[in-house]
Structure 1
Amino acid sequence: MSIWTRIAEALSALAKGEPLSVVFDRLLRAPAPEQSVGFTIAVLALGAKMAKADGTVTRDEVTAFRRIFTFPEGEEAHAAHVFDLARQDIAGFDAYARKIARLFNPEGQRICADDHHVLVDILEALFQIAIADGSYHAGEDAFLAHVADEFGLDEACFRIVRSRLVEGAPRDPYDVLGLPRDASKEAARKAWKDLVRDTHPDVMQARGVPPEAMKLAERRMQLINEAWREISTKEAA
């Protein structure tokens, strides 16, 4: 059974007029919430809310999901349906962000830049949706900063994710690897290897990232490797 079929089942109550936000409450009350379903609903719901962050709603955001998720034939309609329902739901995006944070971080711990977590994966997915139309607006930046704060991600983590994904954003190789500027080459090598390991599909799936979303790692891996090459080359010069 595909994740999209499970999502469709989880959202069946919507046909009776219940808001999408109710789904998160049910996931939270479940003995063992399905993390892959929660991850996907989180990206779809917050992505839909973010569609209005730049003042213009386009279908580019829906197209962006195709860059993040692999849709089996016939499942595209389920994703588009959830996207449209989230845009119509009266719950604000901060309410969604808090529900998602409780789902994946129930103890409310602060998550640091070097503590890779499913909430960081969700934030990276939202960044990819934000830049789907070829630009990155101030409204989207403010939206994502607020979401990161609701998730419990520190400011350094937000800057690192932004530097990895937004063209033209300040990008320092040490930031990409989550290191201070004075880190040694040995520390940089260790951070690079740790990030490569954390980006492995098996590790990501264990964090709750569904197999359908493994495209999420491609951009991150590219920039992680570029950062290490830049640092190692500079150190060797």
Structure 2
Amino acid sequence: MSFWRKIAGLAARNLDEAECDVCPPGLPGEDPAFSTAVTALGAKLAKADGEAQTGEWLAFSEVFHADEGSEGNVRRLYQLARQTTRGFEGYARRLQKRYHACPQLLEDVVDGLFHIAGADGVVTGDELAYLQRVSELFGQSPLVFRRLKATHLGAEAGDPYAVLGARHDASDADLRAAWRAMLSEAHPDRARARGLPAEFVEVAEAKAAAINAAFDAAMRERRALSLQGAA
């Protein structure tokens, strides 16, 4: 019996089944608590912008697959959960409690939710706030959420990580290595050594300045986030 069939009974009784605080053995797809919470989070996301669209159900089906014999039961649960966004935080907390030892799995869930949010071609402010809150409840750092957001929506203008070509949640050491590598490649002395005209040297100087400014901005932001976390 697939896990999608198992959740049919949960829909009729109680949607809140994730109570264990130990990451259960086996595949998440075999865990009815996981499938119930994910279905509810996807459905309630569809309602976050005020109206649940058919395209969002189709996007959910693309990300979280159900076998043919279980699709009706999954859709029933989805329709029930999407009536309101109320209760989504409870599902996110229970999923984090159950799978806190599996951070990549929780990241995959947020990744899938981003896909659903963009099903109609735009991610609204309300949907983005929903996604950010789920990410917070999953215990993900702001930099992890920023990376996921950039993956789906593109980097924001002036994003220092885009300038440095680094992941938003790269370690400090990796970020510094990326900065040094880019700075070495763009350093004006390289242009001078190649005998390039003054115009090219000026371009290299501007690029090096932008790389340094991006690194400084990223490190300032990290220090600010660290202080917020310690407060």
| Shorter-chain TM-score tier | 0.5 to 0.7
How far apart, CA to CA, are the structure 1 residues paired with 2:23 and 2:145? 31
Question: How far did 1:93 drift?
Answer: 1.1
Aligned: 1:3 with 2:3: yes
SS in 2 for 1:123: helix
Q: So what's the TM-score if we normalise by structure 2?
A: 0.62
Q: Distance in 2 between matches of 1:46 and 1:142?
A: 13
**1:58: which partner in 2?**
53
In the TM superposition, what are the counterparts of 1:33-182 in structure 2 within 5 Å?
A: 35-36=28-29, 37=31, 38-88=33-83, 92-105=87-100, 117-167=104-154, 172=162, 173-175=165-167, 178=170, 181-182=175-176
**TM-score, normalised with respect to structure 1:** 0.61
Where 2:69 maps in the other structure, the secondary structure is coil
Counterpart of 1:65, as a letter, is: F
List runs of 5+ in structure 1 lacking aligned partners.
107-114, 189-237
Q: Which residue of 1 aligns with 2:18?
A: 24
Q: Secondary structure at 2:177's aligned position in 1?
A: coil
2:96/2:138 contact within 8 Å kept: yes
Q: Which has the higher contact order (CA 8 A, sep 6+)?
A: 1
Once the two structures are superposed, residues 154-192 of structure 1 have per-residue CA deviations (whole angstroms, 9 ceiling, x without a partner) of 00000001111225756724126836654349999xxxx
Aligned Cα root-mean-square deviation (Å): 3.3
Instruction: Give the C-alpha shift of residue 116 in structure 1.
Output: 5.2
1:13 CA displacement: 4.7
**Structure 2 portions without partners, runs of 5+:** 183-231
Give, in whole Å, the separation in 2 of the partners of 1:50 and 1:144: 8
Structure showing greater radius of gyration is: 2
2-structure distance, mates of 1:45, 1:175: 30
Aligned length: 172
Q: Sequence identity of aligned pairs in percent?
A: 33
**Change in 2 beyond 3 A, CA 1:185/1:155:** closer
Structure 2 distance, partners of 1:118, 1:186, is 32
User: Aligned equivalents of 1:19 and 1:90: distance in 2?
Assistant: 17
